[in-house]
Amino acid sequence: MSADSKDPVFQFIDSIPDAKLLDLPKNPGARIFTTNDYRLDMQSMTSDKPAKHNIQVQVNNQIKRSTAKMIAGKSVTNAVLVPQNNQ
pLDDT in tens, the chain (87 residues): 445 557 888 888 999 999 999 889 889 989 999 998 888 999 999 998 888 999 988 887 776 665 555 555 555 666 677 887 654
The CA distances from residue 9 to 46, 51, 76, in Å, are 24, 26, 8
* Whole-number Å distance between alpha carbons of 85 and 83: 6
pTM of the shown model? 0.73
Q: Answer whether 45's CB lies under 8 Å from 26's CB.
A: yes
> Hey, what amino acid is at 25?
P
Q: Answer whether 71's CB lies under 8 Å from 77's CB.
A: no
12: three-class secondary structure by DSSP? helix
